[in-house]
Amino acid sequence: MALPAALPRVAYFCMEYGLHSDFKLYAGGLGILAGDHLKGAKDLDLPLIGIGLKWKQGYTDQRIDENGRPYDSYPNYVYDFLEDTGVKVTVTIRKVDVVCKVWKTEKFGNATLYLLDTDVPENGDAWITGQLYGWFGEERIAQEMVLGIGGVRALRALEERVEVYHFNEGHAALAAVELIKEKMCAGSTFEEAWRNTREEVVFTTHTPVKEGNESHPLDRLEYMGAYNGLTRSQMERIGGEPFNMTVAGLRLSRIANAVAQLHGETARGMWKTVAGRAPIIAVTNAIHTPTWVDRRMTKAFESGSDLWAPHMELKEELLAFVEKRTGRKLEPGKLLIGFSRRAVPYKRSDLIFSKPELIEPYLESGKIQIIFSGKAHPLDDTGKRIVSGLVSMMKRYPKAVVFLENYDMTIGAALTRGCDIWLNNPRRPLEASGTSGMKAAMNGVLNVSILDGWWPEACIDGVNGWQIGGGFESKDYEVLDEHDSQALYEVLLGKVVPTYYDNRSKWVEMMGQSIATTREAFASKRMLEEYFSRMYIRQ
């Protein structure tokens, strides 16, 4: 797709950025997407800069104790590569001026990223930028005020010319409140300011579960100072009561997007009753291929040479990595499944264990091996029970099951390069996109997945991977789980296992098709060109 020569300059706001495993500014998929967005923009020399927060402790380091339970720790991180811009801005929080220092980095092949930091001597509230997604309601609002209000003020102080403000999730919605305030201070009425702000803002929604979309009581927002010069009735018109950050994002933007085609349908259904919302289109997520796709696989594919040899190299490297981390030695000649997901019920990490009478013989013999990884939110006891359950399966099936603790970009890259198949079995349609499957696919790792997220757009069943079921949905989770469990076993035991062990040529042919059908369609170049042509450039 050819973009016009003159493009609008975009400021991309996100609470987290996954640029490198050792740069602890990310928790999961949202941050990895944001990091890939900035790297892709740099590769293509597009006029886009990032705005985020410099997290002192990042997200949790989550380890497993001797009883198989996850526990959290928060080391302080120091980054000597960040450039001091010399800029400081203030945001009034709880009637106190909080100083936000602005750092800058382009170290990881990314477009310029500015990071606001409250850990400075002037502040009593130095810990606002302490923990990503940490603590409770007031702290979260303070973080969102620094990101949104402080982010806009930083852009002004840096003299960065911006024509489009892209909010990646609702965390940044208060940036639009600051834009409205600017216009009102210049003489516009609230209605005029809101209307003109909408012309500058685009918004991406991710979470397809209503309860997962953040909201705050208006009284709490007022106490924190988040009204930022607006009245209670004006804030209520923007985000409702309680103030829903996604609803606000939809009402403060001229266009919004979901992150896969199916997710677009889901999001439009979820938010159809929101009066005054922006239209929601779909721009399917993508990945930064130089970060995630191993050069050996790319070289073998492009030269038309054997894919199995480099795949086995990567698999051996993964197994050595696993042995070093866990002491567990898996077999390179046996089928290896990868599953790394945030530990929440709808992702159903334990679905493969739902019928022990069917799966147990394969696990006890080691004919099927599984590597799990993923974190639970520090305050999510249900998620921690899910992790504990996976760890218990590692003890139950020592030949076949491994759980890698403290999931990060390093583990993600190793798994999506070295496994034989990538398993994904969420409750459809609750998976927004699922970029880990794209990484696996471009490395020749075959997806075995529910038709949810990005997979309905890519799957050619039996050609470039396999689908689990046929897109069945039910709000009765007992019915849905039973249906999908049966479908998973039919595919895994009836198609995947026989192909792997009895038809190697078919398997390698499918690896080639997996790469061929995804390497351009789900690369960041396509995604960024879509954002510019469909979102950033005014139609």
DSSP 134-164: -S-HHHHHHHHHIIIIIHHHHHHHTT---SE
Are the C-beta atoms of residues 342 and 375 closer than 8 Å to each other? Answer: yes
For residue 315, give the CATH number of its domain: 3.40.50.2000
DSSP 457-500: HH--BTTTEEEESSS---S-HHHHHHHHHHHHHHHIIIIIHHHH
Token pair of 93, please? Answer: 């929080």
Distance, CA of 291 to CA of 174 (rounded, Å): 32
Distance, CA of 85 to CA of 1 (rounded, Å): 35
Q: Are residues 431 and 444 in the same domain?
A: yes
295, containing H or E segment: helix 295-303
Q: Where are the beta strands (DSSP E) in 14-108?
A: 48-53, 61-64, 70-73, 83-93, 96-105
Token pair of 364, please? Answer: 């006890």
pLDDT band for position 523 (cuts 50, 70, 90): very high
Q: Are residues 194 and 271 in the same domain?
A: yes
Distance, CA of 482 to CA of 495 (rounded, Å): 19
Kindly list the distances between the CA atom of residue 270 and the CA atoms of 207, 258, 265, in Å, as whole numbers in the listed order: 10, 11, 9
Q: Are residues 294 and 272 in the same domain?
A: no
The residue among 505, 410, 439 whose CA lies nearest residue 298 is 439
Token pair of 426, please? Answer: 């969420």
pLDDT computed for residue 215 by the predictor: 96
At 25, give phi and psi (nearest 5°). Answer: -105, 15
User: Three-state SS for 256?
Assistant: strand
pLDDT digits (tens, 9 = 90+) for 296-314: 999 999 999 999 999 999 9
Residue 385 lies in a domain: yes
Amino acid identity, residue 74?
Y
Are the C-beta atoms of residues 153 and 76 closer than 8 Å to each other? Answer: no
Are the C-beta atoms of residues 483 and 472 closer than 8 Å to each other? Answer: yes
pLDDT computed for residue 209 by the predictor: 82
Q: Are residues 322 and 271 in the same domain?
A: no
Residue 415 lies in a domain: yes
Residue 405 lies in a domain: yes
Cα torsion angle, 44, 49, 51, 56, sign: positive
Residue 1 lies in a domain: no
Q: Are residues 188 and 90 in the same domain?
A: yes
Distance, CA of 537 to CA of 489 (rounded, Å): 46
Mean pLDDT within 197-221 = 94
Q: Are residues 181 and 226 in the same domain?
A: yes
Bridge-partner residues for 167, per DSSP?
13, 203
Residue 5 lies in a domain: no
pLDDT band for position 539 (cuts 50, 70, 90): confident
Half-sphere exposure of 499 (CA within 13 A, CB side): 22
pLDDT digits (tens, 9 = 90+) for 32-91: 999 999 999 999 999 999 999 999 999 999 999 999 999 999 999 999 999 999 999 999
> Can you give the pTM of this predicted structure?
0.97
Q: Are residues 531 and 516 in the same domain?
A: no
Are the C-beta atoms of residues 27 and 133 closer than 8 Å to each other? Answer: yes
pLDDT digits (tens, 9 = 90+) for 385-429: 999 999 999 999 999 999 999 999 999 999 999 999 999 999 999
Q: Are residues 304 and 410 in the same domain?
A: yes
Q: Are residues 136 and 189 in the same domain?
A: yes
Mean pLDDT within 270-274 = 96
pLDDT computed for residue 135 by the predictor: 85
Amino acid identity, residue 64?
I
What is the CA 273 to chain-centroid distance, rounded? 26
Summary count for the chain: helices (H), strands (E): 21, 19
pLDDT digits (tens, 9 = 90+) for 420-478: 999 999 999 999 999 999 999 999 999 999 999 999 999 999 999 999 999 999 999 99
pLDDT computed for residue 134 by the predictor: 85
Q: Are residues 300 and 256 in the same domain?
A: no
| Number of compact structural domains in the chain | 2
Q: Are residues 296 and 283 in the same domain?
A: no
pLDDT computed for residue 149 by the predictor: 98
The residue behind tokens 């009402």 is 251
Distance, CA of 304 to CA of 457 (rounded, Å): 25
Residue 424 lies in a domain: yes
Q: Are residues 230 and 337 in the same domain?
A: no
Token pair of 294, please? Answer: 């191993």
Residue 296 lies in a domain: yes
User: Structural domain of residue 93, as residue ranges?
Assistant: 10-287+525-536
pLDDT computed for residue 136 by the predictor: 87
Half-sphere exposure of 378 (CA within 13 A, CB side): 16
pLDDT computed for residue 5 by the predictor: 87
For helices 409-418 and 435-442, give the axis angle rounded to 10 degrees. Answer: 50
Residue 3 lies in a domain: no
